[in-house]
Amino acid sequence: MKKMRKETLAIFGLAILLCSVFSGVVVASGEKVVKFGGSTLGGDFGYPSPYAFYPRGMGYIYLSFGFDTLTWKDETGVIPWLADSWEMSDDGKAWTFHLHRGVKWHDGEAFTADDVKFTFDYMKEHPRPKWFKSLEYIDRVDALDDSTVVIHLKKPVADFLVTIAGDVPIIPKHIWSGVEDPKKFRSKEAVIGTGPFKLVEYNKEEGYYLWEANEGYFKGKPLVDKLISTKVSDTALALKTGHLDEASYWRKDIDVVAEFEDNPNFKIIEGPGYWVLQLIFNCEKYPTNITEFRHAISYGIDNDEIIQKVVHGGAIPANPGILQPGIEWHNPDLLGYEHNVTRANEMLDALNFIDSNGDGIREYPTGEDMEFELITISKFSREAELIQSQLEEVGIKINVKPMDKSTVDTILKEGNFFIAINGHGGCSYPDILEAPDWPASTYHNDSYDSIFEEQATTMDFEERKQLVYQLQETIAEDLPVYALYHPKRWAIFNPEKLDTWFYTKNGIAHGIPYELNKLVFIGAEAPIPISTPTATATPTPTPMATATATPPPSAAPTPTPKPPGFEATFAIAGLLAVAYLFLRKRGR
């Protein structure tokens, strides 16, 4: 009997040890660990260094946990960050930044203006594909002293505080000055920044990230000791069982959100999508190069039906000018294309696209049937199928062809299509209007391009706003794309773990719509020094308004279990339970 008890104790001891190992992280008493995921989160978004992160929104957010920018944004707009204050010259071409003193890199080295100058010089010399495009506007950067830097521009940049100062991650000179090929730099030094979190573990295959708090962070110790992004198969179940503390949802996930509305253990916040799904026309191929034909197609589409049947009300009808309704740049008076089959048929008849044989399909003047391939990524196949049936009512045959995203992007860039469904974010700033049919490039309008360039350098808000309105009017009239809908977005979270979640005004950086602003995890910031040096390199500087971010305080830290690998944990526990029962039986 004693032997059997010893074997039983040994098995339970082994069970505890294995559960600790397979649950990934041993959580110390009092540690606060927050785990997030969701239908739009979770998964691999690249190594979170400035040259390795995946060039989409989540990739940049993960980068921002470890790296800081000169400015940042909160719920109200731009706020000071690595820079405590700044001035703009009268001509808008020079910006003087006064840096926060006492900032340290993760390895303990001091952060100075030399790092800022080095960052911009290095990134101009080594461009980062698909990101930081605005660096082309920089002429030169001068470090006047350890805490003062002046950025000189080739021409004024209206969104400078967002697209450059608030977007470019400052990197340490003492590390990156020895890196000749930044695209291949993947060592642990590549993720050393000044940010609130330090990367501890990254697993590409599992889409798993683990960060720990930077206790010496210049804005104060983060509210969270460890931060985990993990991929799960059932997000709602993971929330309910505590394997996730927060999850992000959008579009048709509205059905999942409804499950939590009456659950007292969770809170829900809703935010704008800053994203658009659109029908892209090839403006170089006949007949989609005919403006009236594009109008007719749009009148034949029923957006309300798509929103109700596909995303179950989890979206709003899109602005024909692409930008998200509700932002300061949105033009509310644009030409609309409400579903009108009669109007669509009249326009197609006027173009001499007639169904001469009565088979329900219109023909070209040369006699061939009007038949098109509608390419889309698989995620939006249902939208494509509805459009297929809707356009059948106006005599146009559509064949839906779903593909993976990279293939669709390649086809659009090469112009090998007639009609396509694709989507993108960034719909909160005018810079997204530079190429309205992106990632395609078949729309050409010199007048439009001229207006875009003018608004990008117009510093007066009201003047610029009118120019942006003109851009939207042109898009709505020329219709290189027909915007379908803007999705709604939700965050569901356990408030006992963290109750500081919010959506950033106009999105993180230049329009990333997620609720994962690093301010959520930081809390009240450290005070800004009273005295700041005065710049001398800018002609008659004009002070700019600044703000201070103070997110709401969080509840006291509570112990948190570590979730990754819980399936393996339960499997092992089950095997050990069987072994235990076997031993009991043998010991009888």
pLDDT of residue 539: 32
Share of the chain above pLDDT 90, in %: 75
Q: Helix, strand, or coil here: 485?
A: strand
Per residue in 350-375, is it b (16+ CB within 10 Å) or e — as a string? ebebebeeeeeebbeeeeeebebebb
pLDDT of residue 558: 30
Of 14-23, 73-82, 293-302, the range with the lowest mean pLDDT is 14-23
**Which CATH class, in words, describes the domain spanning 33-245+494-543?**
alpha beta
pTM of the model: 0.80
Residue whose structure tokens are 């391009």: 449
How far is residue 405's CA from residue 173's CA, in Å, rounded to a whole number?
36
Sort strands 275-281 and 419-425 into parallel, antiparallel or unpaired.
antiparallel
pLDDT of residue 29: 56
pLDDT tens-digit readout, 513-548: 899 999 999 974 433 333 333 333 333 333 333 333
pLDDT of residue 557: 30
pLDDT average, residue stretch 139-161: 97
**With 50 as the cut, is the pLDDT of residue 126 above it?**
yes
pLDDT of residue 132: 85
More confident residue, 575 or 247: 247
pLDDT of residue 356: 94
Torsion, Cα of 266, 267, 273, 274 (10° steps): -130
Q: Longest Cα pair distance anywhere in the chain, in angstroms?
A: 95
**With 90 as the cut, is the pLDDT of residue 362 above it?**
yes
pLDDT tens-digit readout, 241-285: 999 999 999 998 999 999 999 999 999 999 998 999 999 999 999
| CATH 3.10.105.10 boundaries in the chain | 275-488
pLDDT average, residue stretch 17-45: 64
pLDDT of residue 427: 93
On the CB side of 585, CA atoms within 13 Å amount to 6
Q: Which one, of 62, 52, 15, lies nearest residue 569 by Cα?
A: 15
393 class by beta-carbon count within 10 Å (0-12 exposed, 13-18 middle, 19+ buried): middle
Amino acid at 38: G
- Angle formed by the axes of helices 446-456 and 461-478, nearest 10°: 160
Of 11-15, 39-43, 202-206, 351-355, the range with the lowest mean pLDDT is 11-15
- CATH 3.10.105.10 is right for the domain spanning 275-488: yes
pLDDT of residue 37: 86
**With 90 as the cut, is the pLDDT of residue 412 above it?**
yes
pLDDT average, residue stretch 335-339: 91
- Angle formed by the axes of helices 2-22 and 566-587, nearest 10°: 180
- Residue 73: its H or E element: strand 71-73
pLDDT of residue 56: 78
| CATH 3.40.190.10 boundaries in the chain | 33-245+494-543
